[in-house]
Amino acid sequence: DTHSLDRPGSKVYYNGTLIHTYLPYITITSPNNNDLWTAGQTQNITWTSAGLENKNVSIVYRVVANGKPAGSITYLARKNILATAGSYSWNIPSDFPAGKYVIYIDQNIPTSGAEKDWKNISKVYVKIASPSWCYTFSEDLYSGVPKPKQVRALQTVLRAEELYGGDIDGVFDTNVKKAVQDFQKKNGISPNNGRFGPTTREKMNALYGCKEVKPSITVTSPNGGETWKIGETKNITWTASGLPNGDYDRIIVSAVDFSGGAIEYSIATLLPSQRSYSWVVPVETSQGNITGGNKFKIRVVYLALIGNNAEDYSDNFFSISAADSSVDSLSVFSNTTATSSPTIKLTSPNGGETWQNGQNHSIAFTYSGANRGKVYLYLINDSISDPSNQYKTIPIENGYGYAIYDISLSNGVYSWTIPNDQYKYSPGSKYKIRAYWYAFSNEGASLGSFSDTSDNYFSISVAGTPVPASCVPSWTYTAWSACANSQQTRTVTDLNNCGVTTGKPSESQLCSTAVVATCTDTDGGKDYSVRGAVKDTKYPNPYTADGLYTDLCYAGLKQIFEYYCDASLGYSQGEWRVCPNGCSNGACNKTVALVPSEGNSSQDLVASISAAIAKIAQQIQQLLSAGQ
């Protein structure tokens, strides 16, 4: 009783008894031995088979080190593809480690055991290249070193050298040491002791090191010849390449007037990924009024916490002209189209108050639609009719040169002591306060500029002048409630029961989650003129003995990196800050320094790098705590 004796897989019977079975087979037809494939590409693995109809097969690969299969088995397909399919399409990941591999196809590949015990086996060797991968080593590596990122890179290049067949797990074990020794022998490096030191590192960097790509920025609009009117909305655009896009890196946009030197007007601080900004050309800025002219350029700066910076200006001058007479210069700061857009409302002073030189008063406002951004405050003297008069609109100073407050920390109240300068802050009854809010989303994207002004005039009088008899509120308030439905509330009470709302602090604010403050700042927040140190008990700086984050000055860039406590989060954050008069000792100068500052010491630079690493570790811990 015989059937198809020439067919693999046929069975031979004698008098009804099975006496022989022809074994089935699989033969890989592509790739050929030692073909070269590239990470990031799709390749087809093909084969022929016989005697395996309706049978599934597995496809696996192993690393080859020193000419032999090594390491664990990795499945591409695990008994889920028919033998008769004859092909499998493999999308090789773009980050697949370069090296030599052996590919197996078999009906039943166990997770362990010797290759000789597998059945119906077919195998082929293939090399995989990863030309875009690079790494520049900067430190010695040796057994037990706690530097997993660099060790993973070392394991990757040793696999590419076909010397290491273990896992890429960041552990410098005996297998890695042996592979380093083999690399040293291969390249004539002595001593070949398995320590990844300077000589070995130099050779490895020559083979796999990254070529430095410096960041670059090019302003594309305005680039010369344009005329922009005050009150119009214009797009500032630029191109960029090579930006590392670090967590604390920023794009800083400004307008520079070269007609009388180089007066720089801040426009926006953005994320490195942004390539444009919609700018409402203003009359008033925190650096003074823009009166127009024909010698303006846009400056765009990429500022990196660690690494190279980049900047560019418009190639030629553009002009800024006065607004049309029909345009209200304040209306450009209002949003009249989207009802859900951020809004700000000045509540104190709002008309009828009398404030005195040399005394402290509360400027209060409410806001909605966002809970991040900066608020600029100005004193408007309407008894002066000439808009170009320097005392018509006066920035309210906080010791730095102009007022700038983080709205999430201010809770809508700013305590202002009117300077005892009766020429600049002359007695009068036609004063108003104007507040500009540059709002940001929780992701850091700009939402635009919004403003409000006192509804009616208040007065400023000389210190000691009797104030008209009236009830003066004495506000007290409870702590903020827990965050519910993105809102926090508190109870605000007037101890004098005046029955008015003048100067009343906000009773609600937006929030994300209720947090417990674990952070203190010696300069009280974002005081750019004072070098502060932040103590964060939740995420202390692990790279300093005292665990503090200390403000840093970069004199050559006229920038500081300011650490502060974020009340909405409950832990420390940091931001770059431009210093118009330069900086020294971790703080912005109030006036131009007579002697150029040396900026940071080497200790400051180490602290800066350490702080950046600490911030990355902090963010990882936050993700782990959130279960992400």
Alpha carbons 31 and 71: distance in angstroms, whole number: 22
Pick the CATH number of 334-510 from 3.30.70.20, 2.60.40.10, 3.60.20.10, 3.30.499.10: 2.60.40.10
Strand partners, 550: 533
Question: Is 503 within 8 Å of 364 (Cβ atoms)?
Answer: yes
CATH code linked to domain 148-208: 1.10.101.10
Confidence of residue 20 (pLDDT cuts 50, 70, 90): low
Confidence of residue 528 (pLDDT cuts 50, 70, 90): confident
Which pLDDT tens digit goes with each residue over 37-54?
A: 999 899 999 998 877 788
Question: Is 548 within 8 Å of 535 (Cβ atoms)?
Answer: yes
Which pLDDT tens digit goes with each residue over 399-437?
A: 433 445 555 445 677 778 888 776 678 888 889 998 877
Instruction: Find out whether the peptide bond into 596 is cis, omega within 30 degrees of 0.
Output: no
Average pLDDT over residues 308-315: 89
Highest mean pLDDT among 168-172, 241-245, 281-285, 557-561: 168-172
In CATH terms, is domain 216-321 a member of 3.30.420.110? no
Alpha carbons 574 and 12: distance in angstroms, whole number: 80
Which pLDDT tens digit goes with each residue over 59-112?
A: 999 999 998 888 788 888 877 888 889 999 999 988 899 999 999 888 766 555
Confidence of residue 479 (pLDDT cuts 50, 70, 90): low
CA torsion 144-145-147-151 (nearest 10°) is -70
Taking the complete model, does pTM exceed 0.85, yes or no? no
At residue 176, what is the residue type?
V
Q: Which of 131, 68, 59 is nearest to 98 (CA)?
A: 131
State the pLDDT at residue 340: 56
Is 287 a residue whose pLDDT tops 60?
A: yes
Listed range (197-201, 260-264, 502-506, 611-615) with the worst mean pLDDT: 611-615
Average pLDDT over residues 218-246: 87
State the pLDDT at residue 573: 80
Return all residues near 121 (Cβ < 8 A) that are at least 6 apart: 26, 104, 105, 106, 115
Q: Which CATH superfamily is domain 11-129 in?
A: Immunoglobulins (2.60.40.10)
CATH 1.10.101.10 placement within the chain? 148-208
Q: Name the average pLDDT for the chain.
A: 77
Average pLDDT over residues 340-347: 80
State the pLDDT at residue 328: 32
CATH 2.60.40.10 placement within the chain? 11-129, 216-321, 334-510
Instruction: Find out whether the peptide bond into 349 is cis, omega within 30 degrees of 0.
Output: yes
Stretch (H or E) spanning 128: strand 122-129
Which pLDDT tens digit goes with each residue over 28-38?
A: 999 999 999 99
Alpha carbons 380 and 231: distance in angstroms, whole number: 19
State the pLDDT at residue 161: 93
